[in-house]
Structure 1
Amino acid sequence: MAETQSRLGEANQRAQAKVDKFEARRAELADAALSTLSRLGYARTSLRDIAENTEFSHGVLRYYFDDKLDLITQCIRQYKAVCVKRYDVATTTAATQDELLDGFIAQLSETLVAETHLHRLWYDLRSQALFEAALRDDVQKIDSDLEQMIWRVVARYAEMEGGSPKLSPKALYALFDGLFQAALAQVVAGEDTAVSEMEKELRALFPAIA
């Protein structure tokens, strides 16, 4: 009996290791594909386009991903997971409201400029989810994660003064997302004041909502 259980345990471990290896490979391929996707966008990118711009063959991509939608959602899921963690660092390390505000805005401004194409891809994908049912669950999950991230930042800011946010998580996310998307459009259009205008709006917004 004990020997049988041991063999089953080993078999389960091997099966799990195989799954982990498969998922790790998907993550590696998604990271490699992000550059091409962010440059070309959802509509103009195929698995063949990605294969031509990476070291991986079309056959390899087809083995690990069902289709373009599967690959794109994996890419965005990984990227947004990193984004959320960035702002959590600013929230947990700040000792004052000014430190929290400065850290949050610095991170937001940096990613707006350094990762413009990736954010543009996210908004492209979110728009496509209105038409592609296969995208909706992933997009809604990412939106929910971002909403909670904004809530943690604002709630922490308010808590430092013994208060609480004046708006719901959904309303707060809509405000911040709207400001960021507008700034992104300005950056894409080459407007030099995009970052400074966003920062000014955010500094005025925080005291009003918390």
Structure 2
Amino acid sequence: MLEALQTLINPLVALGGLALCFGGLLGYAAIRFKVQGSPIVDQINDKLPQTQCGQCSYPGCKPYAEAISNGEAINRCPPGGEATIAALADLLDREVLPLAADAGDGQPAKKTVAFIREDECIGCTKCIKACPVDAIVGAAQQMHTVIESECTGCDLCIEPCPVDCIDIVEIKQPWQWPLPEQTFQKPGMIPVKQI
């Protein structure tokens, strides 16, 4: 009887030892290889312009990336524009949408940039440090200026300016000649077809 009991106990001890080893290994792997955050949120965040401007109605790009991963619209980022919307749509396999007209403060989206009144600038470099896209150039004790093509109009440079010499201005779109078919839109007129 003792021999029969011992032949039964030996496999149970072996199985218990294996279960303990594999359980410890799985516990270690769960801690060691734990994924911080969501990988899709990180991929979405990498596509956003990182201006942290809040024009999407979220306090920064990472919270907006989290909202997008939860199903929020991908077209609320004015600094990123159509290129970012297309990249997000490609990443998430969604439809490309035009930029939301009410992105940000409820007003129609307008292209704005920072403008430094250079005669008032004291060259403190605080605006340069605050600019998330490096659109402001200048040196200490020298006047600064904004590279218009790089500026996203996020207005993060306004708050740190001690002399209040920065304005956010709307970029006026240059006038363009209308296309020929647009010139004949009056009732009764036939548009001229291009050959």
Instruction: Give the TM-score taking structure 2 as reference length.
Output: 0.30
Specify which structure has the higher proportion of strand: 2
Structure ID, larger Rg: 2
Higher relative contact order (CA 8 A, sep 6+): 1
Instruction: Give the TM-score taking structure 1 as reference length.
Output: 0.29
